[in-house]
Structure 1
Amino acid sequence: MQAMQQLQWRDMFDIAVKWRRIADPDQPVLWLDQMPARSLSRGFNNHINLIRGQIINIRYMEYFGSILNFIKERILVYHGAYNPRGLQDVKQALENVNKVEDLLPIMKFNSKTRDGFTVNSKVPSTKDPGKEYDGFTITITGDRVGNMLFSVETQTTEERTQQYQSEIEALYKDLTAKGKALMLSSELGDADAVCNLILSLVYYFCNLMPLSRGSSIVAYSVVMGALMASGKEVVGRIPSGKLVDFEAMTTPSLDRFSKTTKSWMNLKSLPSWYQNLPSVAETFQFSRTMIEVLNTDSSTHCPKKS
């Protein structure tokens, strides 16, 4: 008799990935580490233009401020190390920086940043306190407003992928153990610990950006499903302009990310009738039924807030 294979973290996320593929077949959703070796040998970048010339990517505008503050901090660190004599001038100039375009004159303060510069974020490890992983890279180039590039990207390399997957695997192992304990307990602390572990998984998943597209919706779908499995229902909504993946990427602390996303979700205990709902796998067995339900008008079931 063959033993039942235990669900792993990738299997859990892959459920949402398969639905995302069905939702929009024209956009391939791929696990980047499973792409051909020749595609990954030089690194695969998830690249997002925030400002390119006169085109502003309004989807991410809510995060321009936090990214700008991070850049200003790194500029001060850089000039403190390599341009200490000019540090005071840079500090004064940064006080007048209120938008990304205002950074262009400051780039001229140092010959090495005259044509542009990059800033790298770091993601703290939970498994190995004190250790940090490479986050995303911010790039700014250009010489004037209307002729600048402001972009972010994450690089998929074998080493970086292994680091994040090791973190996710450790969290998933802990989640599995605490999830089993929660089934036998009614303590509120156990439920909160499970919720924090679910959000921790998503924090590292989003910073890894392991998919060719759709990481944000896949991550949030997994959060909602995993919380339902733990007896919690998400009744809140993601605020307008906010994105799960960018919230994780631009938040330097896992605790802050968990606190913020919890405030969005407004968790409640699942009503008892959830137990009587039919199985998703049995109800939507075929691609046709999956497409039909994805195209169902749900506005009557999910009324907008007045």
Structure 2
Amino acid sequence: MGLATLEVMQAMHRTWSNSKVRVNGKTRQMQWRDMFDIAVKWRRIADPDQPVLWLDQMPARSLSRGFNNHINLIRGQIINIRYLAYFDNILDFIKDRILVYHGAYNPRGLLEVRQALENVNKVEDLLPIMKQFNSKTRDGFTVNSKVPSMKDLGKEYDGFTITITGDSRDADDRGADAAVPVRDRDADAVCNLILSLVYYFCNLMPLSRGSSVVAYSVVMGALMASGKEVVGRIPKGKLVDFEAMTTPSPESFSKTAKNWMNLMSLPVWYQSLPSVAETFPSSRTMIEVLNTDSSSHCPKKS
């Protein structure tokens, strides 16, 4: 997705200079989706066996019963180790939402629930505990995350949902909505706005797959357009989308992500690179470059 990142950088640089883009022969203001469409285009070409679709552009009949990005965290004895680093965060999140629920609907029993949850150290132990306090949780229960809006302060939208049942723990995304105004040209403020956009994108999960790599490609490209280069690496076991989904606010996500990124000033020579969009204007040229053996041009790791 390196070429996707470069194309996002070049598109954003042109936009910040001109504030408009040309789409289908017409000139208009650039929208957040235009950035992500660039990364989506490359993600589709990079792995054509996995269709990457915008959910709102899918046929109505395909969405008539709803569409969720569904992830099994634990099913029976099988643990999804890809998300293992987030199990403690998810457990704390579930405990917090349970306390919020009982605080609103069972205030008299809140202290007893709180004491019971203090002894829970594994997600698997939550269901037996909850059965003691609510007969409706006999077969399982769900909790939703809340995503704060930057447009309407104080308003929250549903984020992802955790489902606890007798044989599995699942996470699926419901969606979020927010608008992020971009006015401040200060480097750190721009960085925070870019990361907040990705925070909402990851919680919204508007793609059928590939949201994480698309989001991070946009982050890197937009930051490069602002004059910053990401030289750090995502820590082992961490995932961009899950980091955003398990973080309570865009500010917290921005703080965490910037610790990973180790931002440095962008080298000047990036500005002299040829246009990615003009160099690879068709699907054929994109496929050709992705299948080119570039090992002889890349520095070997020591």
Short-chain TM bin: 0.7 to 0.9
- 1:213-243 residue CA offsets vs partner (Å, 9 max, x unmatched): 0001000000111111111111011111111
Q: 1:151: which partner in 2?
A: 170
**1:153 maps to amino acid:** D
Question: Mean Cα displacement is larger for which, 80-89 or 54-63?
Answer: 80-89
Is the alpha carbon distance of 1:303 and 1:149 closer, same or farther for their aligned partners in structure 2, counting shifts above 3 Å? farther
Does the 8 A contact of 2:223 with 2:229 survive in 1? yes
- 1:174-226 residue CA offsets vs partner (Å, 9 max, x unmatched): 33x54xxx4xxxxxxx1112111111111111111000000010000001111
Q: 1:273: which partner in 2?
A: 269
Q: 2:58: which partner in 1?
A: 35
| Offset of residue 82 of structure 1 | 4.1
Does the 8 A contact of 1:23 with 1:294 survive in 2? yes
What TM-score, normalized to structure 2?
A: 0.84
1:108 aligns with 2:131: yes
| Offset of residue 267 of structure 1 | 0.7
Does the 8 A contact of 1:43 with 1:155 survive in 2? no
Is the alpha carbon distance of 1:303 and 1:265 closer, same or farther for their aligned partners in structure 2, counting shifts above 3 Å? farther
Is the alpha carbon distance of 1:141 and 1:236 closer, same or farther for their aligned partners in structure 2, counting shifts above 3 Å? same
Q: How does 1:3-152 map to 2 (within 5 A)?
A: 4-84=27-107, 86-109=109-132, 110-142=134-166, 148-152=167-171
| Offset of residue 3 of structure 1 | 6.1
Where structure 2 has 5 or more consecutive residues not aligned to the other structure, the ranges are: 1-24
Where structure 1 has 5 or more consecutive residues not aligned to the other structure, the ranges are: 143-147, 183-189
Question: Mean Cα displacement is larger for which, 237-246 or 73-82?
Answer: 73-82
**1:106 maps to amino acid:** I
Does the 8 A contact of 1:107 with 1:115 survive in 2? no
**2:233 maps to amino acid:** R
What TM-score, normalized to structure 1?
A: 0.83
SS in 1 for 2:100: helix
1:213 aligns with 2:209: yes
Is the alpha carbon distance of 1:18 and 1:3 closer, same or farther for their aligned partners in structure 2, counting shifts above 3 Å? closer
Is the alpha carbon distance of 1:303 and 1:131 closer, same or farther for their aligned partners in structure 2, counting shifts above 3 Å? farther
